[in-house]
Copies of this chain bind each other. A is one copy, B any other.
Amino acid sequence: MSPVTKTVFVGLLAAFATAGAQSPSTEQELAETIIKKAMAENQAIRILERIVSVGPRLSGSPQTAAAVELTRQMMVDLGFEDVHLEPVKVPRWVRGPVEKALIVNSHTLGTVPLAITALGGSGATPEGGLTAEVVEVRSIEEARNLGDQLRGKITFFNRPMNPTELETFRAYGGAVDQRVRGPAVAAQAGAVAALVRSITTRHDNVPHTGVTIFRKGERVIPAAAVSLQGADLLHQVLSAEGTVRVHLELACSTLTDVPSANVVAQITGRERPGEIVLLGAHLDSWDVGQGAHDDGAGCAHVIEALRLLKELGLRPRRTIRGVLFMNEENGSRGARAYPKAPQRRGEVHVAAIESDRGGFAPRGFTVSADSSTVSAFRRWAAAFRALGADRFTRGGGGADISPLRRDGTLTLGLNVECARYFDVHHSSNDVLEAVNGRELEMGAAAMAIMAYLLAEEGVPR
């Protein structure tokens, strides 16, 4: 920290400490200082490089254990306070060495491979695979209605994301039920396996994985995502020939739960250390690609936001805590464990902000609250304008902090330009190269500004 910056900030700090509600110009000065440091040093992408260097981070994997230790050590090295791990047991699903799907002997095309990836939670096929007729459906409801007609068949869920939905997270939400619960519903009707059209915006031959859930007592069947090109081919052959048989081979397995941890660190508040503003993201990812956008980017946002505040010597009234949650992708065990941890005794969570929408240019924040609270946040819009992150809208705060929201904590989500996110999400294309360093850094600056304002001024009313 340069002496000049230090002087500016001691001044700012004094102003914040004494003035109560802040004038917009002070908030803008704070924002400008954070943004300048962020963009000049451009460290978020360096942090992300280190996180993805361990390999994909599926819960319970050795790579994920390495990521826990790496980020803990990084936080110690950066001088954060109270750096520690909070243990949590996580599921351990393992992709097998074999993932194969073939359209078998179509009249017109012969035998054609389909690009697939097992869904997390999928069962294995019998050794050597299974071959069965395919029944295409557009929805879980349609699968339910077909009932016994699915017996002995492979159910193929093929409803695309709505392309006219600009908010791609909403389009994702409108399609993902097929993946999450489709295979279990198909299993109930006696299906031997399920294929699901990849939930993606990119029309290529890359399949996108994700969780599929079989509840306790439900029959577990093999379930895989098929690429969009594969899904369209399957649909065309079905339309042309009436029946299609697919050979499917998956060797995945579910092992016993293993120990893991949430990674926690903070800048302790100068006046009300027990009042917490939480910055959250999830450290685990899928086992394809690098989990660079999902959610390596969010972890980089959290660490970089704390780094910026720490190095600028900003110690707000309340504590700003970073939490890298474990197991968001297939169980949310970390999210559920956090509020119940012994460390929470005597703590009050004033607000929690999650970054889990990728490392794209920030657009603003979603706020899980009524419209009058959302309007109150708009008072701070000027501080976020230069980043283009000055939109405050009602909406979800993110999966990792939703247990906190249910306990009454105000939750916010960092909102970003989302047109590209589902091109790469849960696929082998979710790699560092798909993340732009400047865009990532802008998100970190937005997180830092929001955390500081909340920790210093409290929730605006």
Contact = CB atoms under 8 A, between A and B. Distances in A.
A15 interface: no
Nearest to A363: B388
Interface residues of A, number: 25
A417 B438 contact: no
A164 interface: yes
Contact of A35 (B166, B386, B438): B166
Interface string A409-426: 000000001011001000
Contacts of A436: 419-420, 423
Contacts of A166: 35, 39, 386-388, 442
Contact of A439 (B39, B163, B419, B439): B419
A354 B380 CA distance: 32
A19 interface: no
Copies of this chain, count: 2
Contacts of A423: 436
Interface in A388-424: 388, 391, 417, 419-420, 423
Contacts of A42: 163
A30 to B, nearest CB: 15
A245 B73 CA distance: 45
A363 B361 CA distance: 11
Interface of A: 35-36, 39-40, 42, 163-166, 168, 201, 361, 363, 386-388, 391, 417, 419-420, 423, 436, 438-439, 442
Given A42-B163, A363-B388, A417-B417, 20 more contacts: A35-B166, A39-B163, A39-B164, A39-B165, A39-B166, A40-B163, A40-B164, A166-B387, A166-B388, A166-B442, A168-B438, A361-B361, A361-B417, A388-B391, A419-B436, A419-B438, A419-B439, A419-B442, A420-B439, A423-B436
